[in-house]
């Protein structure tokens, strides 16, 4: 008998403001990361830790040079 898959524990990004579009993140059973946006919660982006780390680094680098 297979055990049921637990419901994801979605956590809101600390950078999301109250009352605006929010980004939520959770981990999957195979070390995957899932992201969704509050306006379209049925659309889920699945990625890995290295890919998400690279995306965040690229966003931070762009933010540091944007006037």
In a domain, 45, yes or no: yes
3 inside domain: no
pTM (global) more than 0.75? no
Our count of domains for the chain comes to 1
Dihedral of alpha carbons 46, 44, 22, 25, sign: negative
Within a domain: 33: yes
Structural domain contains residue 4: no
Establish if 38 belongs to a structural domain: yes
Domain interval for residue 37 = 24-65
Alpha helices (runs of H) in 1-67, residue ranges in sequence order: 49-65
Residue-wise pLDDT for 8-24, tens only, equals: 888 988 776 666 678 89
Structural domain contains residue 18: no
What percent of the chain has a predicted confidence (pLDDT) above 90? 33
């Amino acid at each position: 008998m297979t055990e049921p898959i637990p419901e994801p524990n979605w956590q809101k990004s600390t950078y999301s403001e109250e009352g605006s579009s929010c980004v939520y993140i959770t981990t999957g059973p195979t070390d995957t990361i899932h992201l969704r946006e509050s306006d379209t919660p049925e659309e889920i982006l699945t990625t890995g830790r290295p890919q998400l780390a690279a995306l965040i680094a690229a966003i931070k680098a762009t933010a540091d040079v944007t006037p």
